[in-house]
């Protein structure tokens, strides 16, 4: 798919800060922030509500093909801590998909090739007509292979587990560090070993380790490079 807009593709493991950083970068640039992981969460949520087995790939595909999934930057009335507003058939499901249960289901449905194919097509459609900052785990090489700026954002496991624990606690959830850490390791294992689109670092991707950097520092670094590349894009586009 040839890039028709300016696309920033960000990959990386869970709790690397992709969501927060991508959202802030999108704000600074005036781009749409797209959390592709939210689509897998929607799939998990739909399966949970319909009582569909998480092991039935064809049934999962049928569920997600029937719905319209839209994303937008939160409006003034929606600024309640969410990074993006997720609409499923015009119903706001932004918080419904953010439970640990749905997150676990999302990680499992993401291993299915047919499910990924349907959702990748939806993600590519979003990015065709507008400038985007899109993050996930296969954006740089599967969803937006022609993105002008490709980034792999990471951090060490301890830092990521602490960040994840803090996220859960701020939502009022009980979260023991050891449990969060083990779940993170399992998520990493699933992401790197899945047969369909395993988490990969492309040679052309710009690797940023945020372990010792603040959120603002990472955002400044990415925005600086993006502005330079976007200026070139506008001159040649």
CB-neighbour burial class of residue 172 (10 A; exposed 0-12, middle 13-18, buried 19+): exposed
Residue 118 lies in domain = 7-236
Q: For residue 173, give the CATH number of its domain.
A: 3.40.50.300
Note the pTM of the prediction, 2 decimals: 0.87
- Report if residue 77 sits inside a domain: yes
In a domain, 224, yes or no: yes
* 1 found inside a domain: no
Number of structural domains found in the chain = 1
pLDDT in tens, the chain (237 residues): 445 799 999 999 999 999 999 999 999 999 999 999 999 999 999 999 999 999 999 999 999 999 999 999 999 999 898 999 999 999 999 999 999 899 999 989 998 999 999 999 999 999 998 999 999 989 999 999 999 999 999 999 999 999 999 988 988 888 899 999 999 999 899 888 888 788 999 999 999 999 999 999 999 999 999 999 999 998 886
List, edge to edge, every strand of the sheet that includes 69-72.
69-72, 85-88, 91-92
Question: 2 lies in a domain?
Answer: no
Determine contact, residues 29/173, Cβ cutoff 8 Å.
no
* Residue 48 covered by a domain: yes
- In angstroms, the CA 117 to CA 223 distance is 30
Q: Can you tell me which residue has the tokens 């507003």?
A: 85
């Amino acid at each position: 798919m040839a890039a028709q807009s300016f696309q920033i593709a960000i990959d990386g493991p869970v709790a690397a800060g992709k969501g927060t950083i991508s959202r802030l970068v999108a704000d600074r640039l005036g781009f749409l922030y797209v959390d592709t992981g939210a689509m897998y969460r929607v799939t998990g949520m739909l399966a949970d509500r319909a009582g569909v087995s998480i092991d039935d790939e064809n049934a999962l595909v049928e569920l997600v093909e029937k719905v319209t999934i839209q994303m937008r930057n939160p409006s003034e009335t929606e600024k309640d801590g969410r990074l993006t507003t997720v609409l499923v058939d015009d119903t706001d499901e932004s918080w419904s998909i953010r439970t640990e249960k749905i997150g676990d289901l999302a990680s499992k449905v993401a291993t299915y090739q047919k499910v990924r194919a349907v959702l990748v097509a939806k993600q590519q459609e979003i990015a065709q007509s507008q400038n985007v900052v899109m993050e996930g785990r296969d954006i740089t090489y599967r969803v937006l292979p022609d993105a002008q700026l490709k980034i792999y954002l990471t951090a060490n496991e301890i830092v990521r587990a602490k960040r994840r624990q803090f996220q859960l606690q701020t939502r009022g959830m009980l979260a023991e560090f050891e449990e969060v850490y083990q779940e993170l390791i399992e998520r990493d294992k699933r992401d790197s070993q899945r047969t369909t689109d395993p988490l990969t670092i492309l040679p052309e991707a710009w690797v940023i380790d945020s372990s010792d950097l603040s959120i603002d520092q990472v955002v400044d670094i990415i925005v600086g490079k993006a502005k330079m590349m976007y200026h070139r894009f506008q001159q040649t586009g």
